[in-house]
Amino acid sequence: MSEIFFLQQRHDEALQCLKDSLVIQRETGIRSGEGPILNNISAIYYVRGQHGEALKALEESLAICLEIGDRFGEGKVLSNMSQIYTGWGRYDEALKVLEESLAIFGEIGNLPGESETCLKMAFTYAQKGDLENAIKLTRRSVEIREKTRHRDLEMNKAYLKMLEDTLSRTTNLGREATHEQTGVDSGIGNIDG
C-alpha cells in the first residue's frame, strides 16, 4: 500500500503506512524485515527534503543489518547514505560509505550492487571535478553491465562518453592556456624598437 501512495506522491500516507508496518514488524521480533521498511521510510523523508530524518532511518537500518549479519542490506544502506552526503556536498563522506559498499558487494559477489555503487562513486567524483576517477569507475560499471546484460548499459556508455569528452576538452583547454601563457611569457622583453 505504501508503494502506491508513494507513486501517487501521497507521501504523508505512505509514511504513515510504513510506520505502521514497522510497528507490526517489531512486534513479530523478526529484525530482517525492519531494515527494508526503514530504507523506504528514508526514501520518503529524502523526497520530502528531510535529509536528516532520512539519514537517521538509514543509520537505524544499518545498525540492524550489522546486528543480523545482512551484508547485502549493509551494502545497500551505505550506498543510500551516500546520496544524502552527496546532496549536502559532503563528497568525502559519500565516497567513504560508497567504498565500504563497493567492498561489501565485491565480497558477496553481487555484480549489480558493484555496478550501481561504481556509478554512484563516478557521479560523486564528477561533482568533485575529478573526471579521471569518474571515468575509471564508469568504465568499471559498464564492464560489469556488459557481463550482466543490464538494461541501462547504453545509458551508462553514453555517460562514459560524455565524461571522456569533457575530460578531453578540459585537457585541451589546459594545453591551449599553457601554450598561450608560454607564448606571452616568451614574448616579454622581445619587443623590437
pLDDT beyond 50 at 182: no
Percent of all residues in the chain with a pLDDT value above 90, rounded to a whole number: 49
**For the chain, domain boundaries:** 1-69, 95-180
Lowest-confidence region among 48-52, 78-82, 164-168: 164-168
Q: Could you tell me how far CA 129 lies from the centroid of its own chain?
A: 15
Question: Within the chain, how many helices (H) and strands (E) appear?
Answer: 9, 0
Work out the mean pLDDT of the chain and round it to a whole number.
83
Q: Which long-range contacts (CB under 8 A, 24 or more apart) does 84-90 make?
A: 84/46, 84/51, 84/54, 84/55, 84/58, 86/120, 86/123, 86/124, 86/127, 87/51, 88/51
pLDDT beyond 80 at 175: no
pLDDT for residue 178: 43
Cα–Cα dist 142/87, whole Å: 24
pLDDT beyond 60 at 5: no
Task: Give me the residue label for grid cell 520518503.
Answer: 44
User: Which pLDDT band, with edges at 50, 70 and 90, does 2 fall under?
Assistant: low
For residue range 51-94, what is the model confidence (pLDDT) as tens digits?
A: 999 999 999 999 999 999 999 999 999 999 999 999 999 999 99
Cα–Cα dist 94/84, whole Å: 8
Percent of all residues in the chain with a pLDDT value above 70, rounded to a whole number: 82
Q: Is the pTM of this model over 0.75?
A: yes
> CATH says 1-69 is which class?
mainly alpha
pLDDT for residue 186: 36
Question: What would the DSSP string read from start to end of 73-105?
Answer: HHHHHHHHHHHHHHHTT-HHHHHHHHHHHHHHH
What's the rounded mean pLDDT across residues 111-117? 93
